[in-house]
Structure 1
Amino acid sequence: MKDAGLLQYKHYGDLRDLIARRFEDGRVISVSPDDTLLTAFQRMRLADVSQLPVLVDGQTLVGVIDESDILLGLHHDAADFSMIVASAMTDKVQTLASASLAELQAELDRGLVAIIADASGFHGLITRVDLLNHLRRSLA
């Protein structure tokens, strides 16, 4: 386990170590497909993130929604935040299980968030900021 102040984090030796908000720790901010765009937008603002995983029953990853998805969902009616997340989310997600830092960087360079999942399930998201934090910590 890695010491992060008073919190203890399990060290995996793979991309899961870069996830700032791990699912296993109950720290993932998410929405369900049935939540409204307003709920997704509010959670993004409160958590200071620009994308959220979309989970069924808080467990199974079925998509991702980001600020662009919300804007596109509102293109017909900018006031219709009552639309459901399922109508605007990206449901064709690519996940990374055991990838290198170079493969992670390539995913982020394409403008995507890295979704970390494997046969055991969803672990979390890695953003550019998470990678920057990891690189900063590795220099210390």
Structure 2
Amino acid sequence: MDYMFFEIEEIKRKRKKLGITQKKLAELVGVSQPLIARIESGDLDPKLSLVKRIFEVLGELEGKGINARRIMNSPVISASPDDGLLDVIDVMREKGISQLPVIKDGSNLGCITESSILKVVMIRGIDGAENMTVKDIMEDPLPEISPNETLESISKMLLNNPALLVVENGKIVGIVTKHDVMKAMRERE
């Protein structure tokens, strides 16, 4: 009996560590949320088969976790080094994005951000910036990560970068932004 109680306490700990609600766990196991609540609180002595099923689901979730592949945007909207600044501004406004990777022939050459655009307008004025191209103002390339990069690692990298490019087998397959991390956190509910 003590062994079973220890396992039941482990359910709540694992669920909270994974950041999922009782409701979400109940859906994945195929039971009601009140049943999960009663099991976690110790008000119910569940069948061993149910406990095993709950642990199977928790194990699957631990194995999957949130990674770059699950939250990335694909295909990647990008700019070319020869694109005009006004054209890039139009794309950014139309798509509601604050940065674009600069890509040519599949190579990650740089990045253009709202901040880089503002800097050039401050220095050259609006008239001076109108005829510029992306290569005139692009910043360093966005860091590249694998599709299996963890949410924790992604979050740390995004503290100092506007976005991250997801690369698989030498090919850019997606992009992850701060917005994507926040969205992923909300979807776990």
TM-score (ref. length: structure 2)? 0.58
Identify the residue that residue 73 of structure 1 maps to in structure 2. Answer: 120
Identify the residue that residue 74 of structure 2 maps to in structure 1. Answer: 22
Higher percent of residues as strand: 1
- Partners of 1:16 and 1:120 lie apart in 2 by 15
Identity %: 28
Identify the residue that residue 45 of structure 1 maps to in structure 2. Answer: 93
> Which one has a bigger Cα radius of gyration?
2
Q: Give the deviation of 1:118 after TM superposition.
A: 3.8
Is the contact between residue 96 and residue 116 of structure 1 (CA under 8 Å) also seen in structure 2? yes
Q: Which amino acid aligns with 1:50?
A: S
| Structure 1 vs Structure 2 CA RMSD | 2.1
Alignment pair present for 1:137 and 2:187: yes
TM-score (ref. length: structure 1)? 0.75
Q: Between Structure 1 and Structure 2, how many residues are aligned? A: 122
Matches within 5 A, 1:58-69: 59-69=106-116
- Partners of 1:15 and 1:86 lie apart in 2 by 28
Q: Give the deviation of 1:112 after TM superposition.
A: 2.8
Higher percent of residues as helix: 2
Matches within 5 A, 1:1-140: 14-19=67-72, 21-23=73-75, 28-57=76-105, 59-74=106-121, 75-79=123-127, 80-97=129-146, 98-139=148-189
Q: Give the deviation of 1:86 after TM superposition.
A: 0.8
Higher relative contact order (CA 8 A, sep 6+): 1
Q: Which amino acid aligns with 1:73?
A: V
Q: Give the deviation of 1:111 after TM superposition.
A: 4.7
- CA deviation vs aligned residue, 1:14-43 (integer Å, no higher than 9, x gap): 312101x312xxxx3221100011111110
